[in-house]
Amino acid sequence: MSASTSASPARDPRTAIGLAFEQAIVTSLGDEYAGADPLIRNTANPELGDFQCNAAMGLAKRVGQPPRELAQKLVEVVDLDGLAEPPEIAGPGFINIRLKSEALTSSLIQMDDPELGVEASDDPRPIVIDLCGVNVAKQMHVGHLRSTIIGDALARVLERRGRKVLRENHLGDWGLPIAMVLHTLRANGTDLDTLTLTELDVAYRDAQARARGDAKGLEAARTRHSGPHRIAELEAQQSGADEARAAASDTLVALQQGDEELVQDWNKLIDVTMQAVYEALDLLNVQMGPDNNRGESFYRDKLQPVIDHFEKTSLCRTDDGALVVDFEDRKRPLLIRKRDGGFLYATSDLAALRHRTQETGASRCIYVVDARQRDHFRDIFDAARLAHWDRTPDDHDVQLVHVPFGSIMGPDKKPLKTRSGTNLTLASLLAEAIERGTSEVASRSENPSAPTHGLDAEAIGAIGRAVGIGAVKYADLSNDLVRDYVFDMDRMIAFEGDTGPYLQYAHARICSLLEKAGESDLGSAAIQLGDPSERQLALVLLRYGSTVADVAQSLEPHRLCGFLHELAETFSSFYQACPVLKAPDDQTRRSRLRLCDLARRVLEDGLGLLGIEAPTRM
């Protein structure tokens, strides 16, 4: 029989019940069944109980016993003393469990503290999250939205669990593309002190176009004996491209050698780019700043040591002058150095991973990058394992995780673009979200009974910004990350349904209720859970800590979104069924107000983990 659960009931009774049935399975079937999932689920019908153990059906097949007979054995040995009423068997072998009211109340009281049932990890090693990943001289686009807000949400969840998180913006600030645009701007005499990001973005595209020759087209034209005018045209294009690349190469060499004026101009390009990035991050309520930037330039002196290590340990081979790493389970090798001696993104990523695990000592490296890079990161991680960079210097395993995400699609189910067909900038998307959010809040404030009625334009604008940005972030985070989703502002901004504004509005409604109540010291109110709706709200609230822990492990923020939406709907049902301000007596009134306050705090905390503000008025 397991140790009694009565002395210290878990804040999440479902967890305690699961542990009790895990022990019961071992007691009934033997140690070889240790770790078997007891399959604890919420009951579909609260009249049957609070939870259901469905383990008997699956285990019965393995042990050759009738499910109901095995269920009876589990019921006979499971120790739920002090936590639940005697379990009841239903149907072919379902085990229904109803918590004792005093145990449920005790767990809720334990949860009602600043931590809200979220337990801290005791792992002191840091976690690195690679997110954002902007390129110097280019506008942020909608693809950066997903990497940035997903990475920030995961960082917030892990920090909420007490982990030290290092957010890393792997800035694309080095190499030939940057040298191309830098040379072009300097050759054109552009004043870099007044340069805007829009002008820089145009210069980047122009530089790329100038360096884009057509060697294959020229060869084909000569082979086919095309007209002299066509050949001359292609020769001029190719010659110009060769000159542009040569000039860019010379610029890169000078930059690598530390040419003072060139380095100053290079830093100006970074400043122009990052100013716009920080403005977007501020709008998005994302916790990132200059200290989080560790661009490709940081690793430029660490690339050759990566090559040296792979050569020294015979982990790579020469292939037509290039260096590649082979893997036993795939034909595709990983190219880590070109035949001309040039390095690649893979070399930079390996240098970054080596730094993060060997110098930072991170026990988990998380890369929030779109799903199209899945094969790339599979190769990088496997190459790092070959080099033994998947262990920290103090000999702990390092989890190397790629968190892939899908694309944001337009109504036509194609990647979201502007009406003219160009890539949609992140700045324009956020501007639209804030405009729509502000318009919606302003419209509602015209109602004399609205909590926002009479607020000035600045206050309405602040709430509108929170609503608009929250709508976009929640719509993104509430989806299964790897799936594409359609960007539908009308649906996102709605105050009903599974949306960010719905959760924000639920929080604001509770704030208004508590303000009207005018009560203080609700923490001393005795909790009563006599009504089924009160009981159901308590059961949902108690799952918050385990939900946060689950997201920290699975790295799937949509699970937290789902919990918060369920909490908001459960609270709505409670509010409809249980009068709060007009409760039958003062003790019931204060108990329900305490439940309201706890629900408000969990909503606020959970939205905060998603990086979404929780206005007190809407």
Closest of 466, 590, 591, 481 to residue 527, by C-alpha: 591
Contact 323, 311 (CB under 8 A): yes
CATH classification at residue 395 = 3.40.50.620
Residue range 362-408, pLDDT digits in tens: 999 999 999 999 999 999 999 999 999 999 999 999 999 999 999 99
What is the C-alpha separation between 490 and 478, in angstroms, rounded? 16
For residue 27, is pLDDT > 60? yes
Contact 17, 43 (CB under 8 A): no
- Does 587 map to a domain? no
559 class by beta-carbon count within 10 Å (0-12 exposed, 13-18 middle, 19+ buried): middle
What is the C-alpha separation between 392 and 254, in angstroms, rounded? 36
Are 168 and 186 in the same domain?
no
pLDDT band for 6, please (50, 70, 90 cuts).
very low
SS3 state at 365: strand
Contact 335, 346 (CB under 8 A): yes
Q: Which residues pair with 52 in a beta bridge?
A: 41, 96
pLDDT the model gives residue 2? 39
- Does 163 map to a domain? yes
Q: Name the DSSP letter for residue 413.
A: S
Are 76 and 151 in the same domain?
no
Mean pLDDT of 443-454: 94
Are 306 and 398 in the same domain?
yes
pLDDT the model gives residue 422? 65
Question: Which residues are CB-neighbours of 328 under 8 A, at least 6 positions away?
Answer: none
Are 49 and 150 in the same domain?
no
Residue range 32-87, pLDDT digits in tens: 999 999 999 988 888 889 999 999 999 999 999 999 999 999 999 999 998 999 99
- Does 242 map to a domain? yes
CATH classification at residue 50 = 3.30.1360.70
Are 162 and 200 in the same domain?
no
Are 298 and 366 in the same domain?
yes
Residue with tokens 């191309």: 180
For residue 206, is pLDDT > 90? no
Are 154 and 303 in the same domain?
yes
- Does 482 map to a domain? no
Choose one of 403, 421, 443: the last residue of a domain: 403
Residue range 461-497, pLDDT digits in tens: 999 999 999 999 999 999 999 999 999 999 999 999 9
Are 162 and 205 in the same domain?
no
Are 293 and 368 in the same domain?
yes
Q: How many domains does the chain have?
A: 3
Residue range 282-293, pLDDT digits in tens: 999 999 999 999
Percent of the chain at pLDDT > 90 equals 77
Are 156 and 193 in the same domain?
no
- Does 605 map to a domain? no
- Does 64 map to a domain? yes
Domain that includes residue 163, residue range: 127-173+288-403
Question: Alpha carbon 307 to chain centroid distance?
Answer: 32
- Does 233 map to a domain? yes
pLDDT the model gives residue 47? 86
Contact 175, 252 (CB under 8 A): yes
Are 307 and 380 in the same domain?
yes
- Does 117 map to a domain? no
Choose one of 377, 403, 429: the last residue of a domain: 403
Are 202 and 327 in the same domain?
no
